[in-house]
């Protein structure tokens, strides 16, 4: 740049770019540290809450088991009555409830982050119903074993996920409201298929399938629990890694592409992992209502509006284990399926979100 004066032309000094304010940098660093401290505190508190719920579910009930007796039974000592109750009822239900809660909570938070919509979860979008319909058909019509039911649930959930992406017209997360509408329609259609299958089935099989469709932990066997545990152990860490990549995708597709995170690939991996977790969980426990939907919302509130798949997974574990204890002992002499309790909790939250979204749209118009 040059400056013209009455004495001639001189070069103007080049201005250096303004350095970021030290105060601003300090504020950003402090905010980041506060956010990390809050996340660690929330996850630690949720871990303790899960441990408390697990201990209560295992040791307390119609028959109280002491901590020393618990360790004696687990290490192989036979205590009449207590051993059967612990190893065949309370402990397997607490373990499968934990695994199911972790899987469903993480799946729900992943879909809500990917679609940028609190209503997006595997149960609302029909993925859970796809797994349920395929599992019921295999169980009732084909008389399949537990392994065949698991494979059928995977295929059913995968088919719904593929239809969801195809019919919404874009890749996963590209059109949130359209995806939700397509998911609701698919879920309604598959529910009709399930009802038709049950009407054609033997009365005993129909009753067994109806209990399973409500969402229950009472029918899970140790081989099924081990199978679910292996799936969660391998799939959940991969989903946590993909969730970090999804946070970059949330900043925009162009920016994510520039940072080396192709949005389509990240979303496809996220959907695939959610399908595996949801389908295997559904094949073991049935479709436990609203856990995937609730966990992400509760975790977001605890973290001040930020999403966290890890926190949502722990919330899901707490909700399922605590709800199963309530279902077992809230009504005397009645052992309710856990899905009844989670459905009672989740339906009002869904209605509240719909009402809040409608109010927000009216205010913005």
Mean pLDDT value of segment 275-288: 90
Kindly state the average pLDDT of the residues 330-352.
Answer: 81
- Structural domain count of the chain: 1
Look at residue 345 in the predicted model and tell me its pLDDT.
81
pLDDT number for residue 53: 95
Question: Within a domain: residue 321?
Answer: yes
Task: Tally Cβ neighbours within 10 Å of residue 55.
Answer: 14
- Which pLDDT does position 344 carry in this prediction? 86
User: What HEC string does the chain produce?
Assistant: CEEEECCEEEECCCCCCCCCCHHHHHHHHHHHHHHHHHHHHHHHHHHHHHHHHHHHHHHCCCCCCCHHHHHHHHCCCCCCCHHHHHHHHHHHHHHHHHHHHHHHHHHHHHHHHHHCCCCCCCCCCCHHHHHHHHHHHHHHHCCCCHHHHHHHHHHHHHHHHHHHHHHCCCCCCCCHHHHHHHHHHHHHHHHHHHHHHHHHCCHHHHHHHHHHHHCCCCCCCHHHHHHHHHHHHHHHHHHHHHHHHHHHHCCCHHHHHHCCCCHHHHHHHHHHHHHHHHHHHHHHHCCCCCHHHHHHHHHHHHCCCCCCHHHHHHHHHHHHHHHHHHHHHCCCCCCCCHHHHHHHHHHHHHHHHHHHHHHHHHHHC
Which residue has 């599992």 as its token pair? 135
Confidence at 249, pLDDT banded by 50, 70, 90: low
* pLDDT at position 22 over 50: yes
Radius of gyration of the chain (CA): 25
According to the model, what pLDDT value does residue 58 have?
A: 92
Residues 114-139 have pLDDT tens digits of: 877 777 888 888 888 888 888 888 88
Mean pLDDT of all residues in 247-270: 64
* pLDDT (tens digit per residue) in 65-78: 888 989 998 888 88
Digit-coded pLDDT (tens) for 173-229 = 455 667 778 888 888 888 888 888 888 877 777 777 887 788 889 888 889 899 999
The answer to whether 164 and 222 are in contact (CB under 8 A) is no
The answer to whether residue 55 sits within a structural domain is yes
Is residue 25, in this structure, part of any structural domain at all? no
Q: Which residue segment(s) compose the domain that 265 sits in?
A: 35-349
Please give the model's pTM, rounded to 2 decimal places: 0.83
pLDDT at 360: 47
Give residue 106's pLDDT: 93
In this prediction, residues 309-324 reach a mean pLDDT of 94
Whether residue 15 is contained in a domain is answered as no
Confidence class for position 297, pLDDT limits 50, 70, 90: confident
Max CA-CA distance within the chain? 109
Cβ(115)–Cβ(176) below 8 Å: yes
Q: Of the given ranges (35-39, 144-148, 216-220, 327-331), which has the lowest mean pLDDT? A: 144-148
Measured CA distances, 211 to 31, 47, 124, 136, 286 (Å) = 49, 30, 20, 11, 9
Residue 220, pLDDT score: 83
In a domain? residue 281:
yes
Weakest-pLDDT range from 17-21, 199-203, 250-254? 17-21
pLDDT of residue 79: 86
CATH number, position 203: 1.10.3470.10
Considering the domain boundaries, does residue 57 fall inside one?
Answer: yes
Average pLDDT of the segment spanning 92-102? 95
Q: Judge whether 71 and 255 are in contact, CB under 8 Å.
A: no
Residue 363 in any domain: the answer is: no
For residue 10, being part of any structural domain is answered with no
């Amino acid at each position: 740049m040059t400056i013209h004066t009455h004495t001639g032309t001189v070069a103007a000094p080049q201005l250096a770019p303004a350095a970021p304010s030290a105060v601003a940098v300090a504020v950003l660093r402090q905010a980041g540290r506060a956010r990390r401290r809050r996340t660690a505190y929330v996850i630690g508190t949720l871990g303790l809450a899960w441990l408390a719920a697990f201990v209560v579910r295992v040791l307390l009930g119609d028959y109280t088991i002491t901590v020393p007796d618990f360790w004696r039974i687990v290490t192989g000592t036979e205590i009449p009555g207590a051993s059967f109750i612990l190893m065949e009822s309370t402990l397997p239900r607490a373990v499968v409830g934990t695994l199911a809660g972790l899987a469903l909570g993480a799946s729900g938070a992943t879909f809500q982050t990917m679609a940028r919509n609190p209503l997006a979860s595997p149960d609302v979008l029909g993925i859970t119903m796809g797994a349920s319909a395929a599992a019921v058909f295999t169980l009732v019509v084909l008389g399949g074993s537990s392994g065949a039911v698991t494979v059928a649930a995977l295929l059913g959930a995968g088919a719904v996920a593929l239809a969801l992406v195809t019919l919404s017209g874009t890749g996963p997360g590209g059109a949130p409201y359209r995806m939700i509408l397509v998911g609701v329609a698919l879920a309604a259609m598959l529910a009709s298929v399930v009802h038709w299958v049950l009407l054609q089935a033997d009365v005993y099989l129909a009753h067994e399938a109806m209990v399973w469709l409500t969402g229950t932990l009472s029918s899970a066997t140790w081989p099924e629990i081990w199978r679910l545990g292996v799936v969660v152990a391998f799939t959940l860490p991969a989903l946590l890694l993909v969730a970090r990549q999804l946070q970059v995708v949330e900043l925009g597709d162009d920016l994510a592409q520039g940072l080396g995170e192709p949005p389509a690939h990240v979303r496809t991996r996220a959907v695939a992992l959610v399908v595996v977790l949801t389908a295997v969980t559904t094949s073991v426990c049935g479709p436990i209502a609203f856990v995937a939907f609730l966990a992400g919302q509760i975790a977001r509130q605890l973290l001040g509006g930020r999403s966290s798949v890890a926190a949502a997974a722990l919330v899901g574990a707490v909700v399922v284990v605590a709800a199963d204890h309530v279902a077992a002992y809230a009504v005397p002499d009645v052992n309710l399926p856990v899905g009844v309790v989670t459905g009672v909790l989740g339906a009002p939250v869904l209605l509240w979100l719909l009402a809040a979204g409608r109010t927000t749209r009216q205010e913005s118009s």
